[in-house]
Each structure stands twice: as C-alpha cells, then as structure tokens.
Structure 1
Amino acid sequence: MMPSGIAGATELLGLARDAFHDDAEALAVLDELDARLAGPLRIAVAGMVKAGKSTLLNAIIGEEIAPTDAGECTRIVTWYRFGHTPRITLYPLTGEPKGLPVTRVDGRLVFTLGEVRPEEVERLVVDWPAASLRDLTLIDTPGIASLSQEVSARSTAFLLPEDSPAAADAVIYLMRHLHASDVRFLESFKDTAAGQPGTVNALAVLSRADEIGAGRIDSLISAAVIAERYSKDQNLRPLALGVVPVAGLLAQSSRTMRQSDAEALQLLAHMDRNSRERLMLSVDRFVRGDGPGQLDPETKSSLVNRFGLFGIRLGVALIRGGTNNPTDLAHELARRSGLGQLLDTVEHLFQTRADALKARAAVVGVEALVREALVRGAPKERAAPVEAALERLQAGAHEFRELKLLADLRTGGVGLGSAASVEAERLVGGRGSSPALRLGLARDADDRLISETARDSLQRWRLVAENPLTEPRAVEACRVVMRSCEAMMVPTAAVR
C-alpha cells in the first residue's frame, strides 16, 4: 500500500519520473510538481474588479508591495513569495524572464514594465523578505468580470486551467455583496479532479466591510451579521468554507502605520467632540473643513485615503479610550479590521492541511501528464504502473477521503441527520484541521483530553455505523469519520 500525503505524492512522482525518463516535456512538468510539494502553500486572492484584492494582500503581507491603483500591473497575475533579497521578475509569454527594478516611492513598491505591454506578460514574481511569506505564497489575480474580456480571461485561465492542476492550492475570494457571478466563479473553482464530487477549498471574504455601515464605528458588527447570513446561504455554503468580514483598507493601513498617521489621529482625538463629529460627517468636509490647525488639507486627504472615515473614527475612539502608544494602536486597529480573524481562519482551514492540498495538486498533475503523454503516443504499458499507483493513492489516502466527504456533506448530505452531519464536518476538518478544532475543544487542550475525546467520538460513530438502520452511503461516511478519530488518538497513545 502506498503511503499517503506528501510521502505518497513524492513516491508517485518518482514512479512517473522513471516511466517518462526520456520525455523532456514530462520531466519538466514533474520538476514543477516536485517544487510545488517542497514549497509553501499557494493561496490566490481573487474577486471582481474593485473588490480590494491588492489592498487585502498588502494587509496580509504587512507591507505595501502590491499595486492598489488601476495601473497596468493590476492586469497581470502576480506572485508574492519569500526571498531573502527583494527582487521582481517578469515572465513573458515568449522569451526569457527579465528582472525589473525594485523601486519604492512613499513607502510603496512601484512596478515598471518598461517597453513590455501587460498582455505580453505571463506573470510577475515578487520575492520579498516578509516573515508572513515564509509559509505562504500569495497570488494576486486580475479582476473577474472585468469590463476588459482579456483581463477577466487572464484570471479565469490561471485559476481554472482546463488540462492541469490549478496553480493555487486554495483561494481567498473577495466580494462586496453576494452576486450571481461570485457563485458562478466559486462553482467553477470547486476542485473535481481529485475525488468526486469536488473538494471545497475556498474562503469567502466580505471585503470593504466598513462600507456596509456607511463608515460608522459599528460597521464591522453589521458586516459580521451579513457574513454569517451569507455563510448559511444555500448557494454559497457548498462552495466556501466560511465568510469572514474584513475592512481591507483599515487592515492594510494599520499594518503599515506611520508615525505621522498616529500623530494625526492624536490631534483629532484631542479636538472638541462636537467640532470633530461635524468634521467627520463626510470625506469632503473632513478634508476641507477647519481644524485641527496642525493638519493641512493634504495631510487630511492622505489620512482618509489610507484609513477611510471608519478607520479614522475608530482610531480616535481607541485613543480617547486610552490606547495612546502607536504600536498598540496599530495592533488594535488591525484586530478590529477583521484581519486577525481572517489570518486565523486561513491558518486553521488551509495551512494546517497544506500537505493534503499540495499532495492533491501533485495527483492532479500526474493524471494530466499521463493523459497528455498517451495523446502524444506514449506506449500504454509505460503509463500502466503510474496509473496503478494513482489509483492506489487515491483509494488509500485518507486526506483525500476527508476532502471528498467534506464536499459531500456541503453539497447534499450523505444520509446522516443534521446534527450528525455538523459533527462529521467538524471531525473531518471542515472547521480546522488541528485535533482540538476537530474535536470541538479549546485550542490549548492537552494530549490526554484530545485522546480521550477522540476515543469517545470513535465509539459513538462506530455505533452509528453498526446500526442496521443506517443507510449504506452514511456507513461509508462513518468509516471516514472513524478513521479521522483514530488518527487523532495515535500521537497521544503515550499519555494513556
């Protein structure tokens, strides 16, 4: 029996390399799949035009290196990955890669394509020494449903390739409201290549959440209510693992806060309350209105462009409540923006199961490679050992069975009752892959409690599986859940 996860995928790639040792094209594909297994998880940031993708990406990275204007580089797929030295590499559709100058203006990274047109570029790769990129490669994509068909098609082709695995292991999908085009995209992204009927590896973000409450200080509360409603929507729930509200502009600015920003907010906090409230009735009044005397219109315009009225109001309220240290203020603004919840959700939904997601990409890649090799005339007997290994890996890899069951539970059920379905989804990692999250325990639960709870869950699900009234499809679901419970008991056997 083949090992599962990364080990199984590595063995599969070795078999494929032996089978196609004299096929340069196949070996190049296998080199890419090997690098993908060894590298960090890849997460694409996608959404319609003006959804705030680049702004949120900057917030996650903690630096302003993704262009947020409507310039030519927002029309290009751009990878952000960890590198010890800042570097920008342009990969053209034809020809050799070329380096671009690394230039920063007013704290922002500036991209200059020179004489190359955006439509001639396959992708840009930005290597950057940001700690947040050590375990995560982020991919910024052009807007979906753009007025430019070429720009929209670029994103669709990258995220939804026809004959190869998606370049991203998961997607953070930004939306301002739930539109039919959002649902159509997520339906397409749902991976059906490694385990039917499709695996769910998307997280929806209600971006620009501060706009929902018209910039009021309680806007994020209103946004959280809407996000919760969306997460239960019958059209969206089968397609996304959750919906998180984030005020992207505030998240970016709080993570890149300058001393001048903190000083400006301090001046506003010490204004007369009535004067300050009148000043912040609208953006125009804030920029052009009187006071405080030390802030000129240009400075106020910069402040509102960076934080929005919501961020300014929240910053002032925090300062008046006693948060005066600029570092503490930045951390609290980032937390209140929803960024912390988003990062936690990404970590427990995607990063904790990175091996399974990367292994699945390798399986899909090898399947596509074998199909293509056969089309190009490779002997069937050469591909036979690889096809057999693929079948064994897909049948025996518990990680894939979990992903398949998770999709089944979200797209129509498996014959279990509603309460049992909710528990099954949690136990197979639908709310996070760590044992504590799977078992509904506190994050700091000790090994003994985890082992005992897993054993209790295993016994309970065994009874369900053995019940003669349980439907056959539900029995198979029970077996997957039971295997998940057993896996959570193994590492803690020493404590019993």
Structure 2
Amino acid sequence: MPPFLGPTGIHGHVFDRIARAVDPADPAAADLLAVVGAARARMSTPMRVAVAGQIKRGKTTLVNALLGEEVADTGRLELTFNVCEFHHAERPRLLVHFKDGRPARELPPGALSRLTVRDPAGMRLLRAVRKVEVGRPSPLLRHFRLVDTPGLGSAHGTDAENTLAFLGIDDPGQRADAAGALRRLGRDVRSVHAESAAEMGRADAVVFAFSRGLGRADQQAVDSFAGAYGAVVSPLKAFGVLTRADQYWPPAGEVGPDGLPADPMAYDPMATARRIADSCGERPAVRRVFRTVLPVAGLLGVAAQCMPSAAFEPLADLAKTPPHRLAELMEDVNLFCVRDDPQLPVPAGTRAALVDRMGAWGVFLACGALRDGLDEDATRRLLLERSGVVALREQILRHFGNRAALIKLDHGQREIAEEVARLRTTAQLADRPPPAVAGRVAALLEDMRVTDPGPGELAALAAYYRGGLNLTAEEESQLLAVTGESGPGCAARLGLPAGTPVATLLRTARRHVAHWAARCCDPLLDRPTLAVARVVLRSYERVADLVGRAQTLLYGDCHEGPGGAVGDETDGGNGR
C-alpha cells in the first residue's frame, strides 16, 4: 500500500494509473492525456486559493491583510476589475498578461498603480490588461497562490441585465464611480463576472468574502456560487469571511446583558460578528458549500502590519483623552472625523485619516493599548490579533494546507471526469460509439473511489459534509482526523500530538481499527454510513501498518520500545 507522504507528494500515483490506461497513440485521447498530465503536475505545485465574492466586499483588503503588506491596490477602480494573482518570488515582480495574446510584459512593481486615467498611454495599457501577476517573498505564498477576483454576480441576473446592482454595488455614488471605471476600461459587469467565475473554476480552494453579514445581494451571490459550483465545491475546500467585522463598533442600537445600551468601552464588535457568522453558517445554502464563516476586521489587520510609525504619534496624543470621553466623542464617527473639538488634541483631518486607515474601532483600540503603556510593536501585535487576521491565516494554513493533497486530487479527478464526459458527448452528437478510452478511464475513476485511499477519503468527506451519517461526535472527529484534518502524519491522523511514542501510536491505531471493524459489521448500519466506515477502517489499517513497520525498523521484532510493549495488544482480529 502506498505510504502517507507530505502534502505535495501524496496521491500522484492516482494520475499515473490513469495515464497508463490512456494510449498516447490514440488520436481520441490527446486532450485527455493532457488533462491527466496537468492534474499530475498540479500535485507538486502550490494550491490556488481564490478570494471571491461581490465587488466592494473587502476582498483586496483581505488579501493585503493575509500577506502582511499593501501589495494589492485598493484605491483604483480601474485595477479592481482585473484578476490579480499573487505567488512567491525571491524578489518583487509584476507581470502583466494581455487580452490580445501578446507576450506578457514585466513592469516595475507598483507601475500599474501609478498610471492615471488622464494619461492616454496609461489608459491604453489598463484597457489591454487581462490579468496581473504579482510575485512577493511572502511566507504564506510559499504554500499558496492567492487569486484576487474582481467580483461575482447575483444569482438572479439575466443576460439583459447589465447594471452594477448585478455585482452587488448598492450605493449610488459607488455605482457611478464603478460605471465610470468600467466605461473607461471598455468593460461591462458581465465580463467582470465571467472572469471571476473562470478563476473560480481554476482554483483549488475558495475564500468567499462578505462585508458585514449575509445581506440580500450577498445571499444571491452565495446562491449563485452554490448553484454554479455546489457540485464541485464543498466545505472541504471553501469557507466564508466577514471582512468588515469592525464596522459593528460603535454599538449603535445594541444592548448589553442588563438590557441597557451597550457600553462602547466594553463592546467587542468581533463577538457580534462571530454571532452573525455563526448565524450565516446555519443557512442551508451556506452550510452546503462553506466549512465555516469567520469574522475579520481586514482594514485593521492591514493597518496593524503596514501603518507607518509616524501614525502612532497622533494616536498617542489621542490616547491622552479620557477613555469614556473618547468613546462618547466617537459615538458619531462622521462628526468625530470632521468636527473641531478643543478637548481633542488631534485635528479633525488627522482623526479622519486615522479612521480611514484603521477604522473607528481600531483607533479606539490602539488608543487604549497606548494608554495602558504598550509600545508600538506590542500595540501592532494586539491590533493584528484582535483583527482576526491571525486566526484566518492559521485556518488557511491548517485546513487548506493539511488538505492540499486531497483538494488537488479532487480538482484533478473532476477535470478528468469532465473530459471523459466531453468525449462521450462529442461521440453521441456525431452518432458514433464513444471512444474506448472514455470507458476505461471512467471505470478506473469509479474503481479508485473504492480501492484507493485518496479517492475513498474524498468520497467519505463528501458524504460527511452532505450530512445524514449515523456517526457519533467522536466518530466524526476520527473521520476528520484520519483523513488529514490536523496534518498528514500518523500522529495527527490518530488525533495525538507530535512526538507521541511509537508504541502509543500503534496501540491507538489498533484500538481504532477494532472499533471501526465492529462498526462495519453492524447489521443495522445504513449504506452511506457503512461506506464511510469502510473507508475509515482502511485508513486506520493503513496507519497501523505504517506505525508497525516503523516500530520494527526502530526496535526490531521484539515489539518493545518507548511507551511499553505492544506485542499482546488486541487488534480486533485484523492481524495488524
């Protein structure tokens, strides 16, 4: 049986098996062979994670927060409507791809941001851009390619509807600005949606951005997302993000546990956002495609990492204002930004710039930290932690990182199945039998769902996310762990910490094998749960086999090692 390998080395043999079933000399198989080769090559490349959602939902700010630097332009609508892909590079790079197919052109980093609509040559360049590729020496980008998409449309749009409302822009002023930018670029909202949808199809995983909650336009976008991608995107490879959680502060209209108006001094907008995120996650349309919905204050996350040190000087001055008085003055954020007040040691224009940079809650939070004696570095760390960006980054690294092999395997299998279906459809339309290679590959894909651990685990996870399995909470945890939720190593798959003695690993694996073998023999178990139980049993048998062989290599045939003897441990009759 093939061993567990690192996230990029596992499951490549699946595509090798499929390639061997395809005759390179078969003229009907040329495209299929290319698809198989691309799927195999993808296993050793970083995952493509698309940041999707409607326009003006904080996607680009979220990308900047994740990368920890302002590499994506948030202030230029002409750039907002381009696909922007970020990858790891030893030095900053900017590569522009063009609509007319001319060779890609490398420009100095930041060159596009310096172009203006008043410069005819610059505008011609912006109109010709198809995609922007940005290379940065970012630790996160060593693991993933991030794709910032322009914007998905509503589920209820029609081919005749060509308005900014289709992309979820409700504010009349923002609509006018966006319409002007699209007109200058020679674009329309349909092309923006089509480009975003195409990137979704190419992505291995998706982070879907909402602004503050699941409003009507966002609900329609989720419906569209679920309808278009629900068959191929599951909670295995997608989760949602509320990108502007800080906008729940100050707490207008909120009440505390005592029934009185919420105190802005103690009010945590992230807690409110978490409740809203949990509520979003309970909706069937959301639960069907997203593993979870997380709250993030994207603007605050960017400010914590990128704001110049000079900005901390007016914050320190503002922190001299008594906290209760500052909270009172910030109850109306608009007035706080424009009203001259002798009680405030910072001019209105500077206050407005701080709020634009880090949000009202960020300003109040930073003042509190500085008032408590924290220095600049400690304040930045506090702001970053409170923004939710650290938790989101960890979620991306943990979930998408640990699941990378399975996710890319699923992507490759899906593309191969689509090519097989295309071959069959083409033959049917031409009134001829489907090519034999289509039948061979389809049968092989189906066979591997049962016999190969990778496709089998994918099928088990799909069944779990659909719901309705007859499993206990502990069994669900074991299903997630043994399929790599916490990591690809044997200890992680057994739900044990790294460094656990080999003997303990083997005892645990054998205990799980015995449990799941008994479950598979349960005559009352329904068919979907039985299929999943068999996958989990095979996965635990595989772990037990690997750990047993490791023990033999380390300690010989005496079956004695750190953690105690295991030779007499019952294994449920499986002989492992």
Classify the TM-score, shorter chain.
0.7 to 0.9
Determine whether 1:209 maps to 2:245.
yes
Question: Can you list the C-alpha shifts for 1:276-323, whole angstroms capped at 9, x where unaligned?
Answer: 334433333333334687744443332211110111111122223342
* Matches of 1:32 and 1:291, distance apart in 2: 66
CA contact (8 A) 1:402 1:428 kept: no
With over 3 angstroms needed to count, the CA separation of the structure-2 counterparts of 1:226 and 1:87, relative to structure 1, is: same
Determine whether 1:114 maps to 2:164.
no
Supply the AA of the counterpart residue of 2:206. Answer: V
Correspondent of 1:155 among 191, 196, 201: 196
Determine whether 1:93 maps to 2:99.
yes
Determine whether 1:426 maps to 2:484.
no
CA contact (8 A) 2:52 2:206 kept: yes
Report how many aligned residue pairs link the two structures: 483
Determine whether 1:174 maps to 2:224.
no
With over 3 angstroms needed to count, the CA separation of the structure-2 counterparts of 1:38 and 1:437, relative to structure 1, is: closer
Correspondent of 1:74 among 70, 74, 80: 80
> How much does 1:471 deviate?
2.1
- Please give the secondary structure, in 1, of the residue aligned with 2:480: helix
CA contact (8 A) 1:87 1:99 kept: no
- Please give the secondary structure, in 1, of the residue aligned with 2:365: helix
Supply the AA of the counterpart residue of 2:352. Answer: S
- Which blocks of at least 5 consecutive residues in structure 2 are unaligned? 4-9, 154-166, 169-188, 252-263, 552-560, 567-576
> How much does 1:125 deviate?
1.4
> How much does 1:373 deviate?
5.7
CA contact (8 A) 1:76 1:118 kept: no
* Matches of 1:77 and 1:398, distance apart in 2: 36
Determine whether 1:311 maps to 2:362.
yes
1:139 alignment counterpart: 147
- Please give the secondary structure, in 2, of the residue aligned with 1:96: coil
> How much does 1:351 deviate?
0.8
Which one is further off, 18-27 or 94-103? 18-27
1:162 alignment counterpart: none
* Matches of 2:306 and 2:36, distance apart in 1: 39
User: Looking at both structures, which has the greater relative contact order when contacts are Cα pairs under 8 Å and sequence separation is at least 6?
Assistant: 1
* Matches of 1:286 and 1:445, distance apart in 2: 56
2:59 alignment counterpart: 53
Supply the AA of the counterpart residue of 1:286. Answer: F
CA contact (8 A) 1:102 1:110 kept: no
1:162-201 to 2 correspondences below 5 Å: 166-175=201-210, 176-178=212-214, 179-188=218-227, 190=229, 192=231, 200-201=236-237
> How much does 1:465 deviate?
1.8
* Matches of 1:454 and 1:285, distance apart in 2: 63
1:1-40 to 2 correspondences below 5 Å: 5-13=11-19, 18-19=24-25, 32-40=38-46
CA contact (8 A) 2:449 2:455 kept: yes
2:378 alignment counterpart: 328
Supply the AA of the counterpart residue of 1:73. Answer: L
1:222 alignment counterpart: 272
Determine whether 1:126 maps to 2:134.
yes
Question: Can you list the C-alpha shifts for 1:138-165, whole angstroms capped at 9, x where unaligned?
Answer: 0011122316333223212332xxxxxx
Supply the AA of the counterpart residue of 1:77. Answer: V
> How much does 1:444 deviate?
7.5
Determine whether 1:363 maps to 2:413.
yes
1:238 alignment counterpart: 288
With over 3 angstroms needed to count, the CA separation of the structure-2 counterparts of 1:259 and 1:138, relative to structure 1, is: same
- Please give the secondary structure, in 1, of the residue aligned with 2:312: helix
Question: Can you list the C-alpha shifts for 1:78-125, whole angstroms capped at 9, x where unaligned?
Answer: 1111112322222223322332533449xx965779344767544221
With over 3 angstroms needed to count, the CA separation of the structure-2 counterparts of 1:61 and 1:199, relative to structure 1, is: closer
> How much does 1:402 deviate?
2.2
- Please give the secondary structure, in 2, of the residue aligned with 1:238: helix
* Matches of 1:247 and 1:417, distance apart in 2: 36
Correspondent of 1:398 among 419, 429, 453: 453
1:271 alignment counterpart: 321
With over 3 angstroms needed to count, the CA separation of the structure-2 counterparts of 1:2 and 1:362, relative to structure 1, is: farther
With over 3 angstroms needed to count, the CA separation of the structure-2 counterparts of 1:441 and 1:382, relative to structure 1, is: closer
Supply the AA of the counterpart residue of 2:330. Answer: M
With over 3 angstroms needed to count, the CA separation of the structure-2 counterparts of 1:294 and 1:43, relative to structure 1, is: same
* Matches of 1:264 and 1:445, distance apart in 2: 51
1:349 alignment counterpart: 399
* Matches of 2:446 and 2:512, distance apart in 1: 30
Determine whether 1:413 maps to 2:475.
no
CA contact (8 A) 1:66 1:109 kept: no
RMSD, matched Cα: 3.6
* Matches of 1:119 and 1:387, distance apart in 2: 43
Q: Which one has a bigger Cα radius of gyration?
A: 2
Supply the AA of the counterpart residue of 2:369. Answer: L
Supply the AA of the counterpart residue of 1:276. Answer: L
* Matches of 1:27 and 1:468, distance apart in 2: 43
> How much does 1:230 deviate?
2.9
* Matches of 2:30 and 2:231, distance apart in 1: 28
* Matches of 1:479 and 1:110, distance apart in 2: 59
1:405-484 to 2 correspondences below 5 Å: 405-414=460-469, 416-417=470-471, 419=473, 422-423=476-477, 425-427=479-481, 429=483, 432-433=486-487, 449-484=504-539
Supply the AA of the counterpart residue of 2:351. Answer: K
2:256 alignment counterpart: none
* Matches of 2:16 and 2:348, distance apart in 1: 59
Question: Can you list the C-alpha shifts for 1:207-240, whole angstroms capped at 9, x where unaligned?
Answer: 2111234465510111122223333334322221
CA contact (8 A) 1:13 1:366 kept: no
Supply the AA of the counterpart residue of 1:477. Answer: V
With over 3 angstroms needed to count, the CA separation of the structure-2 counterparts of 1:330 and 1:404, relative to structure 1, is: same
Question: Can you list the C-alpha shifts for 1:246-284, whole angstroms capped at 9, x where unaligned?
Answer: 111111211223212333322222334454334433333
- Which blocks of at least 5 consecutive residues in structure 1 are unaligned? 160-165
Supply the AA of the counterpart residue of 2:122. Answer: G
Question: Can you list the C-alpha shifts for 1:304-359, whole angstroms capped at 9, x where unaligned?
Answer: 111101111111222233422x2222222111111121122112221112112122
> How much does 1:62 deviate?
1.1
CA contact (8 A) 2:49 2:146 kept: yes
With over 3 angstroms needed to count, the CA separation of the structure-2 counterparts of 1:455 and 1:245, relative to structure 1, is: farther
- Please give the secondary structure, in 2, of the residue aligned with 1:124: strand
Question: Can you list the C-alpha shifts for 1:5-52, whole angstroms capped at 9, x where unaligned?
Answer: 123225545765835699886676566445433210111001122211
Which one is further off, 96-105 or 18-27? 18-27
With over 3 angstroms needed to count, the CA separation of the structure-2 counterparts of 1:386 and 1:479, relative to structure 1, is: closer
1:163 alignment counterpart: none
* Matches of 2:2 and 2:476, distance apart in 1: 31
CA contact (8 A) 1:20 1:27 kept: no
Question: Can you list the C-alpha shifts for 1:165-197, whole angstroms capped at 9, x where unaligned?
Answer: x21111011123224324313423646359xxx
